[in-house]
Structure 1
Amino acid sequence: MASSFAYDILSNKIETRSAKAGVIGLGYVGLPLAIAIARSGFAVTGFDIDPKKIVSLDAQHSYIDAVANDDLATEMDGGRFSATTDFAGLAACDVIVICVPTPLTKHRDPDLSFVEATSRSIAEHLRAGQLVVLESTTYPGTTDDVVKVILEKTGLKSGTDFFVGFSPEREDPGNQHYHTATIPKVVAGDGPQALALMKGFYGAVVKTVVPVSSNATAEAVKLTENIFRSVNIALVNELKTVYAAMGVDVWEVIEAAKTKPFGYMPFYPGPGLGGHCIPIDPFYLTWKSREYELPTRFIELAGEINSAMPRYVVGKLAEALDMRSGKALSRSRVLVLGLAYKKNVADIRESPSLRLMEIIEERGGKADYHDPHVGEIPSTREYQHLKGRKSVDLTQELLDACDAVLVATDHDNLDYALIANSARLIVDTRNVFARLRLSADHIVKA
């Protein structure tokens, strides 16, 4: 591998921990990563366009469950972490990591506007001897064909003056067993020197580094991980509907099937997919595949099945109301239990609970929600009409006033015994009452 002046200097800075890092996007991915980098000995500046986040961080208050206030304070007091909205500070950073959203448009096409805008901001301050890393999930080719191209418009050349790499984020909000530094990190670079820098930098931050041959390969790794989950969740969601028609409990089937010590991996049905990854990422590949005139029928079918689950669940709710109380959904008040997309977190990105509330009210019902982790519905791209709704207190009076409780998210810190004893009707999409041995005639699985 031929050496270059810019590579030698940056490699030495990374090895001695004197390199300054910048993390752009201080959300569920960026903030935990920034703190992990700071904890490993690098000075880190976090960049975000939201001034409210910076005010919160300056007060040493974390808005992300994965980052404790004490950990944030330790890195800030030690001078290893600071945050700002001023992107001029990128010029002083030796390693710049992009952790911005990659959503879909209304037509399910990739929306790379955040990646492109961030790349242009970096280009304004780009200098020789910098490593620019994309962590945002995207289709194969984005790092080289979008980020690199924007940066090279400065006249500087990737692999000679600056270096470009990709490393997919693997955050799992609420997971108590793994955190940023202990999750193996896939890394790739534009050329052997960029890869060497990626291995050196991330090797200092996380326990295990997994190098692959190209940025496109690393981008494909992330999509494959999430497509695998999407397809298998769609499979059990479809099995749920088929088995329910046959009078068979899919949850019991899964529990028995997973006793097989080989050839089977349990996945679980639910009210729909949530989170920023699984409902969105597969469509990045389906979009890119059109360029090669190749169908992705399996992936698209999985998306259709998972997207149909909220309407299926509300249908089961309406059926249960009619059969058990003779009351139409249009005249019913329903408590949606859990707004977050998964248990024990405050993350509502792409949460099916929002869609459930919308469908209930489209059909004339009234939908309240209770979630101990989400006190108020924030602004979202698709559900602006729900913005500002507040979590109602879970009380005996509330349960007496509701016609049904729809369990969408099975948080651990909920009084399920109170709900089981007091709710008139419970529609359980998470099998939580069976797991807690609180089965009763007025509990319906959906």
Structure 2
Amino acid sequence: MQVERTQPLDDKVQPLGDNEGRDPAGEVELAVIGLGYVGLPLAREAASVGLRVVGLDRDPRVVDGLNSGRSHVDDVSDDDVRRMRAAGFTAFTDDACLARAQTVVICVPTPLSEDGGPDLGAVVSAARSVAGRLRSGQLVVLESTTYPGTTEEVVRPLLEESGLRAGEDFALAFSPERIDPGSTGHGLRETPKVVGGCTPSCAVHAVAFYGKFVNTVVQAKGTREAEMAKLLENTYRHVNIALVNELAVISHELHVDVWDAIRCAGTKPFGFQAFRPSPGVGGHCIPIDPNYLSYKVRSSLGYEFRFVGLAQEINRRMPEYVVRRAQDLLNTAGRPLQGSRVLLLGVTYKPDVADLRETPAEPLARLLRERGAEIAFHDPHVPAWSVEGTAVPRVGDLTAALREHDLTILLQDHSAYDLPALADTARLLFDTRGRIFKPGVEVL
């Protein structure tokens, strides 16, 4: 394991609390709370190196499925789950399993609340469950994305209601998740893990734990720095995506090929990273996480984080811009948008996953319907799809559908799609991903 630090610390892991009276035979090394797209890969990786792992999830369907060898997460296969089960992994709905764990990692969701900040209901519930089972010597880590200060200001007080003290009786740390759904090149083991402890001794314990199955652990100065690092990563992407999306709109009006401009700029070996236009942003991270930082700035400092607000405005209006371009394309072909048959290809938020969270395809479909278009969709990863409670028809024969629909919009470039064949078969094709540069194909 490689450890990178922002400040030097004593590497020696000092025992916390009183370990007398334990039964090592009944213990497990890790309990994961929240067995979703973050928690389940974490449990899999820990189990793969021989750690004894249990999982806690409030959804009995998730627990029953995992204990039967079935995965509900794209990046974890049924075979992975069966191997985990063979290694001793068991999922529970009862938090009694937490008392057996040397380390507890909280991986619960933090959706947006009505005031624009994170809804910490699941985090608070998980922390209370841990507090009710907390023992001396345990390590507790929060991985759920949130605003700087959550670990110290929300989780720590709840855990210390047990009568135990962080840094003295138990260790408490924050480590932002860096899961990239659908990616085969950035697994949990290969992706550096940032860790920030409430105290230096907490940090040392957390580094030692993650070092068992992650190649590089990066130690932050504290929990707030680790929390901010996660928001910085996603805000950086959010702002740059907004920049290139606005450039795409401007370039179209100026008769500039923005995709060629990006290609050329990308040849610079320093000082530039290429981002590409899209019909909008999706998933939990990019459209959601920067709001947590805006919330913290607004609630604590009394003013707005203007970069995030502007990026949100630009990215949110991209589906409307795509619809306007689609309408112009149909008009050029002598058809109004109203009454036209429009086929949407790829409705997930990123390629080669089944994840529909915050997908820009949803507002785009809603806008098309409002303008009188008859919409249908095709996606190899999505068997059924509804927008605002109304099912969108799914086509079965893609080739026939391409010929039958007045306009096809490529929203997600899944690897299963034969892109040249799409261009050759569709009546009109609007490529919002910049993948098909052929005469007759409209590109965002």
Tell me the TM-score normalized by structure 2: 0.92
- 2:51 is matched with 42
- 2:261 is matched with 253
Of residues 137, 142, 158, the one that matches 1:134 is 142
Task: State the 1:26 CA deviation.
Answer: 1.0
- 1:86 is matched with 94
Matched, 1:177 2:175: no
CA contact (8 A) 2:17 2:136 kept: no
Of residues 375, 389, 394, the one that matches 1:391 is 394
Task: State the 1:163 CA deviation.
Answer: 1.8
Of residues 209, 214, 219, the one that matches 1:206 is 214
* C-alpha distance in 1 between matches for 2:83 and 2:13: 38
Matched, 1:65 2:74: yes
Task: State the 1:7 CA deviation.
Answer: 5.1
1:378-412 residue CA offsets vs partner (Å, 9 max, x unmatched): 7xxxx5414x5463224333223311111110001
Matched, 1:6 2:16: yes
Q: Which amino acid aligns with 1:440?
A: P
Of residues 57, 62, 76, the one that matches 1:53 is 62
Of residues 437, 442, 445, the one that matches 2:443 is 445
Matched, 1:402 2:402: no
Q: Which amino acid aligns with 1:233?
A: I
* C-alpha distance in 2 between matches for 1:35 and 1:145: 30
Secondary structure of the corresponding residue to residue 317 of structure 2 = helix
CA contact (8 A) 2:19 2:136 kept: no
- 2:414 is matched with 411
* C-alpha distance in 2 between matches for 1:209 and 1:364: 53
The answer to which of 402-411 and 363-372 deviates more is: 363-372
* C-alpha distance in 1 between matches for 2:63 and 2:96: 16
Task: State the 1:118 CA deviation.
Answer: 1.4
- Structure 1: any 5+ residue segments left out of the alignment? none
Secondary structure of the corresponding residue to residue 427 of structure 1 = strand
Of residues 83, 88, 92, the one that matches 1:74 is 83
Task: State the 1:225 CA deviation.
Answer: 0.5
Matched, 1:109 2:107: no
Task: State the 1:338 CA deviation.
Answer: 0.4
Which has the larger share of helix? 1
Matched, 1:289 2:297: yes
- 2:317 is matched with 308
Task: State the 1:68 CA deviation.
Answer: 2.8
CA contact (8 A) 2:18 2:169 kept: no
Summarize the Cα distance change of 1:236–1:294 in structure 2 as closer, same or farther, 3 Å threshold: same
* C-alpha distance in 2 between matches for 1:210 and 1:5: 22
* C-alpha distance in 2 between matches for 1:68 and 1:264: 37
Summarize the Cα distance change of 1:204–1:249 in structure 2 as closer, same or farther, 3 Å threshold: same
CA contact (8 A) 1:7 1:193 kept: no
Task: State the 1:4 CA deviation.
Answer: 6.8
* C-alpha distance in 2 between matches for 1:13 and 1:147: 27
Q: Which amino acid aligns with 1:444?
A: E
Of residues 424, 432, 439, the one that matches 1:429 is 432
Task: State the 1:148 CA deviation.
Answer: 0.9
Task: State the 1:55 CA deviation.
Answer: 2.2
- 1:343 is matched with 351
Q: Which amino acid aligns with 2:50?
A: G
Secondary structure of the corresponding residue to residue 164 of structure 2 = coil
Task: State the 1:152 CA deviation.
Answer: 1.5
* C-alpha distance in 2 between matches for 1:13 and 1:36: 25
* C-alpha distance in 2 between matches for 1:32 and 1:389: 32
1:141-290 matched pairs, under 5 angstroms: 141-290=149-298
Secondary structure of the corresponding residue to residue 377 of structure 2 = strand
CA contact (8 A) 2:171 2:202 kept: yes
Summarize the Cα distance change of 1:377–1:149 in structure 2 as closer, same or farther, 3 Å threshold: farther
Task: State the 1:360 CA deviation.
Answer: 0.9
Summarize the Cα distance change of 1:5–1:251 in structure 2 as closer, same or farther, 3 Å threshold: closer
* C-alpha distance in 2 between matches for 1:394 and 1:440: 25
Aligned-residue RMSD, C-alpha: 2.3
1:341-364 residue CA offsets vs partner (Å, 9 max, x unmatched): 111111111111112111111222
Say how many residue pairs are matched: 432
1:272-322 residue CA offsets vs partner (Å, 9 max, x unmatched): 001110111111001100111243111211111111111111111111111
Task: State the 1:62 CA deviation.
Answer: 2.0
- 1:358 is matched with 366
Of structures 1 and 2, the one scoring higher in RCO (CA 8 A, sep 6+) is 2
* C-alpha distance in 2 between matches for 1:4 and 1:229: 39
Secondary structure of the corresponding residue to residue 368 of structure 1 = strand
Task: State the 1:129 CA deviation.
Answer: 2.1
- 2:131 is matched with 123
CA contact (8 A) 1:405 1:426 kept: yes
CA contact (8 A) 1:370 1:394 kept: no
1:21-40 matched pairs, under 5 angstroms: 21-40=30-49
The answer to which of 159-168 and 105-114 deviates more is: 105-114
CA contact (8 A) 1:133 1:165 kept: yes
* C-alpha distance in 1 between matches for 2:76 and 2:117: 32
- Structure 2: any 5+ residue segments left out of the alignment? 1-9
Q: Which amino acid aligns with 2:40?
A: L
